[in-house]
Amino acid sequence: MRVLHIAYQQLRRYGKTRVSWAQKLTSGLIKNDHCVQVFSDRDVAAFEAPFGWRDLGRGKANRRLLEMVEAFDPDLVIAGHCDIISNETLKEIKRRQPNVILAHCNNDPLFVPENVDKIRHRAEVVDAVFVSTGRRELGLFEGGHARLYHMPNPVDPAVETLNNARRSDLAIDLLFCSNSNDFTTRLEMVGQLKESLNGEMNFKTFGSFGEAPVWGRDYDRALAQTRMGLNLNRQEGHHWYSSARMAQLAGNGILQFTHSGPCFDELLPPESVVYFDDEADLVNKVRQFHGDDAMRRAWAEQAWAFFHQEMNNTLYAQYILEAAVQQPFSHEYVWAQDIHLDGSVK
């Protein structure tokens, strides 16, 4: 199948990039033998604009996308986080090529009001919407034109290349990386945790408390030294919602602690991820696993194996394609056991 994937490709970061779920999706589609063309809206807008001022290149970027659609003739267009591309352009794609399927993938949380508005906006013109929050919470988008689906955060074996579950020579006992303080008070918990654990272990908090953030290979190197990590969302409790940090930790064999509120125990196997209810519970469990490295390694190995086998980007990409074009599921996707092919809840 011919797939056009509109997503930010971070071209102007010149290698100092964040781990990109969009690039994992592109890679997964290619691994499944689909012909994929990418269109990086932000980069095209900047390249086409006078003086490289991105906002001046919005109109040109939309016109260039239509040129690409005309030249590439896709069967499926996946629009990720591409705010520069207008709904009018997506409707024009459909007008010119009535048989093309349009899908929107959104990996941001629903507790950000602006993101809810963005999903509603895209749902007006696309055929299918995929959101990283669990399907049971997507009812606020029901009744529109688009079918609704949950999508997980996948691992990519070419990105998550480590397995720290098989190592004991790791310098960082506990890790938390963060770069966003909007809509959250999580750093209060992290600060209190640092105080409680002071002197007991090497707890690194890159991006917070005076420690510089890490990107690209610096982030890879930090993960390569880490036993355990905190998977703290900016807000907790949304069903099956987690930042991409969950896959990055699990996929590298790093034991993770995540809040019980999102109910990931319904999705993930037992003794793979450590769930906590509050700060006191978290402190106790961090100490427990820090003191028992064999248990740490066993649980992290379970998570590593499950994510690489059942939540990898090859399955993830094929699921999105099959759901978008209404092709019967070729795999029993663990995150789609509660839905029908059309996205409706069983």
Residue 112 counted as domain residue: yes
CA-nearest of 313, 320, 315 to 341 is 320
Rounded Cα gap, residues 237 and 326, in angstroms = 31
- Are 291 and 174 a contacting pair, CB within 8 Å? no
Question: Structural domain tally of the chain?
Answer: 2
Is the pLDDT assigned to residue 323 strictly greater than 90?
yes
| Mean pLDDT for all residues in the chain | 95
- In terms of domains, do 25 and 104 share one? yes
Residue type, 168: S
- In terms of domains, do 114 and 186 share one? no
CA-nearest of 140, 135, 145, 157 to 335 is 135
Residue 65 counted as domain residue: yes
- End-to-end, the C-alpha distance of the chain in Å comes to 29
Given pLDDT bands bounded at 50, 70 and 90, which one contains residue 12? confident
Average pLDDT over residues 93-122: 96
pLDDT of residue 235: 87
Average pLDDT over residues 160-166: 98
pLDDT of residue 186: 80
**Percent share of the chain, pLDDT over 70:** 99
- In terms of domains, do 27 and 107 share one? yes
> DSSP code of 273?
S
User: What range does the domain containing 33 cover?
Assistant: 2-154+312-336
CA-nearest of 130, 127, 126, 106 to 118 is 106
Average pLDDT over residues 87-93: 98
- In terms of domains, do 134 and 188 share one? no
Residue 140 counted as domain residue: yes
Rounded Cα gap, residues 256 and 231, in angstroms = 6
Is the pLDDT assigned to residue 181 strictly greater than 70?
no
- In terms of domains, do 192 and 220 share one? yes
Is the pLDDT assigned to residue 183 strictly greater than 70?
no
- Are 131 and 118 a contacting pair, CB within 8 Å? no
**CA dist 287 to 24, 52, 73, 175, 284, Å?**
34, 51, 56, 14, 5
pLDDT of residue 289: 98
What's the longest Cα–Cα distance across the chain?
Answer: 64
- In terms of domains, do 7 and 150 share one? yes
Strand blocks (E) in the chain: 2-6, 35-39, 76-79, 101-106, 128-131, 147-150, 172-175, 203-204, 226-231, 255-259, 274-276
Q: Which two structure tokens, joined as six digits, stand for 9?
A: 């490709």
